[in-house]
Structure 1
Amino acid sequence: MDIRHLQYITEIARYNSFTKAADSLHITQPTISKTIINLEQELNTEIFVRDGKQIKLTDAGETIMQYAEPILQLFDQLTAEINDLTYLNKGNIRIGIPPMAGSSYFPMVIKQFQAAYPGITIHMVEDGAKRIEERIVEGDIDVGAVLWPIDQAMFDSFPIVEDRLKVIMHPSHPMASRKHIELHELSQDRFILFSQQFALHERIIHECRAVGFEPQIVSESSHWDFIGEMVGADIGIAMLPDTICRLLAPEKVRAVALINPIMPWQLSMAWRREGYLSRASRAWIAFTKEYFGLLS
């Protein structure tokens, strides 16, 4: 017995007619009659009996009908849910966004995406880019904004933003009026870094070591605006993307170009290369790829 049998039995009982039931189901009367006969043989019991011109359910038929209605209702609900997901009328996406990128690059794209797909719910997860990579692999989130380079064997991705890091410092700093600074010149400065779950944490330390010094770290934070405030309080220097530097108050901090090395900051949208990716997630990827492609 399958869902088709329950549909046939229910329609026959509703119309009290094999012919009318067949018309309702858009099949022929011989087809529905043969299907019921085959089912009765399979179950070794009758489902319908004729009483004059009336078609009546047997005790077995009555028992089937008790279960058929709720089963068919659930089946209709399941079909509707699948159709909603298939045609993107509903769904969920878990997106990882670093705090530094969220306010600068994503509010408008999220607004436009939700206008295009109002039934899709977006769950935003704020975390450092390093931790976002880990959570994508673990399956906690579907897609996320991460810093390039990433493991291309593990992730598929496309670029969102290409920027470069600048040094921010208090206006009283001796190098605040410079047009550019070489990294080795900061060997005596105190550094304010992002927390360890952020990719920039290890990257800045690595670059400092590469030019011959160990950075003196005096504070760490997961919020770029708080880092800016600490620099404005003359606690130390920091490094932020040029786009973020423009959001800081110039009377509190100065942003100076970093050279030797130039440190690029490339934000990419990434997701697991292997494994299941929902239609909602694929719609987000396609939408954001087009959106940021038009901006570049």
Structure 2
Amino acid sequence: MDILHLSYFLEVAQQKSFTKASQILHVSQPTISKVVKTLENELNATLLERAGKEVELTDAGKAVFQRAQYVVSEFRNLTTELNDVLNLKKGELSIGLPPMVGSRFFPHVIGRFRQQYPLIQIKLIEVGSKQIESGVQEGVLDLGVIALPATVESFDTFSFVNEALRVVMHPDHPLAAHTRLSLFELKDEPFVLYKDDFSLYNHILMQCQKKGFSLEIACQSSQWDFIVEMVGAKLGIALLPETICNDLDPKRFKSVTLFDPVIPWNLAIIWNKSRYMSFAARAWLQLAKGYFHLANVAL
């Protein structure tokens, strides 16, 4: 048994298919089948069973799968640390970015990083804050970007955006004449809201509950553009960060200060302080800190 055997087995189990695992690993299917069979013979246990077109883990397979994930992860950490010690400055960097955040704040950071470290492969995972926190905690992601507050205590954070949400509506809306609005004044309005896996989704719902009402959700999206266009189509109102509101066409949209409560939009880079941080992750974090420091000074 070796790491390669365990890696092949894990890929087959995750894909539930020898064929898909073969395509991902760029290894012939017979080779993978032989490796898994060898592993089963060494352990004297059947690990995988065919269920139609898919394969399923047996009870023994599930036990091996859980342990193998840890072993392979630790081996990769060892490889990363050795690369750092040898100053090879190459490897892979996995970063979790919310869809609404990545394209707006990080193209320049990623571009500069690629120029300085062309041998390091950047893997961007676009999901909501909840999934990013889970990924960073489990070590699937090296770094992530979330809207604070974080729900996990084992994170270190670097905050780079501190804004408040504003109420956005069509200029013809009856509330558009106001210069500021309380959250309770919006209780009868349909909302164009964020997807459930965004931390802002829970935060907004919680604030509404504190004010004694439940939101009427007209639709949900993970994209700024779609939310804005739905507001422009008079489908509902939205709560958007100041950065987004500043770019809106005043002829098509009206943004109003939200108070009682002020709902913050604080973005931060997070990493797991209890895990080893690779050279690539440290270099990217240092570059991002420098970039956002200069950007905030310019503002």
Q: Give me the TM-score of the superposition, normalised by structure 1.
A: 0.69
Q: Secondary structure at the match of 1:113?
A: helix
Aligned position for 1:114: 114
Q: Secondary structure at the match of 1:269?
A: strand
User: What amino acid does structure 2 have at the position aligned with 1:207?
Assistant: Q
Determine if contact 1:88/1:119 at 8 Å carries over to the other structure. Answer: no
Aligned position for 1:104: 104
Deviates more, 1:245-254 or 1:98-107: 245-254
Counting aligned pairs with the same residue, the percent is: 44
Deviates more, 1:105-114 or 1:87-96: 87-96
Q: Which structure has the larger Rg over C-alpha atoms? A: 1
Change in CA separation of 1:290 and 1:86 when aligned onto 2, cut-off 3 Å: farther
CA distance in 2, matches of 1:204, 1:118: 41
Q: 1:268 deviation in Å?
A: 0.3
Q: Secondary structure at the match of 2:294?
A: helix
Change in CA separation of 1:154 and 1:216 when aligned onto 2, cut-off 3 Å: same
Q: Secondary structure at the match of 2:271?
A: strand
Matched, 1:154 2:154: yes
User: What amino acid does structure 2 have at the position aligned with 1:293?
Assistant: H
User: What amino acid does structure 2 have at the position aligned with 1:103?
Assistant: S
Q: 1:106 deviation in Å?
A: 0.7
Determine if contact 1:88/1:120 at 8 Å carries over to the other structure. Answer: no
Matched, 1:286 2:282: no
Determine if contact 1:86/1:279 at 8 Å carries over to the other structure. Answer: no
Aligned position for 2:212: 212
Aligned position for 1:260: 260
Change in CA separation of 1:279 and 1:86 when aligned onto 2, cut-off 3 Å: farther
Deviates more, 1:211-220 or 1:144-153: 144-153
Q: Report how many residues are paired.
A: 217
Q: Secondary structure at the match of 1:115?
A: helix
Q: 1:138 deviation in Å?
A: 2.5
Determine if contact 2:146/2:269 at 8 Å carries over to the other structure. Answer: yes
Determine if contact 1:145/1:270 at 8 Å carries over to the other structure. Answer: yes
Question: In the TM superposition, what whole-angstrom CA distance separates every residue of 1:14-37 from its partner, at most 9, and x where no partner exists?
Answer: xxxxxxxxxxxxxxxxxxxxxxxx
- Unmatched tracts of structure 2, length 5 or more: 1-78
Deviates more, 1:256-265 or 1:284-293: 284-293
Change in CA separation of 1:111 and 1:88 when aligned onto 2, cut-off 3 Å: farther
Aligned position for 2:137: 137
Q: Give me the TM-score of the superposition, normalised by structure 2.
A: 0.68
- Unmatched tracts of structure 1, length 5 or more: 1-78
Q: 1:151 deviation in Å?
A: 4.1
Question: In the TM superposition, what whole-angstrom CA distance separates every residue of 1:123-149 from its partner, at most 9, and x where no partner exists?
Answer: 111111122111212222110111111
